Chains A and B, each alone.
Chain A
């Protein structure tokens, strides 16, 4: 079974630039999550999709972050404009049904904002 795929793996940008991350979840998984992991901390949920609908985006900074999950499969997370404090690893995860199923994480995208 293929795992969660993410790209790019690394990205370096200047502050105020924009960036986009892509995630392909495990086939058949209904729920997709985007987490932000700042160095030395645990993952923090940014947004959760159930199929192509948003379940929770309460911790997503909506003035600069946006995400979509078209056709209930792949997802993109965008930051525009980026700030220095956005430097982190962005992890995508998926689970078969809901939050109490095992969440399988992708390798993450390490973002550095200069």
Chain B
């Protein structure tokens, strides 16, 4: 089945710096890659997603890149702010049998003022 590896597990940056979180996946048939943000004690919320027919997608300070050949995708946050502090999860669709989302283990991002 699908396996999603996420790195790093923790990331600390200064306010205004950029943050990059990387994920790799194993199922070459995967075609949908969402990123979720989960603040402490709250529900995961979708922040951006990308499908396999594009290589990059941007939404204000957030961008996601996808390299299908290497089977990895990354989340880029520019001009980080303290409110970006949260746990970020990447996920990929597994195509084996029924489609389902497989999540990475998460990256705890801390933005220091």
Contacts and interface: CB of A to CB of B under 8 A. Distances in A.
Contacts of B105: 40-42
B interface, over-half SS: strand
B19 interface: no
A55 interface: yes
B51 to A, nearest CB: 8
Interface string B38-49: 000011111001
B44 A45 contact: no
Interface string A13-42: 000000000000000000000000000111
A106 B101 contact: no
B100 A99 contact: yes
Interface of A: 40-45, 48, 55-56, 58, 91, 98-100, 102-108
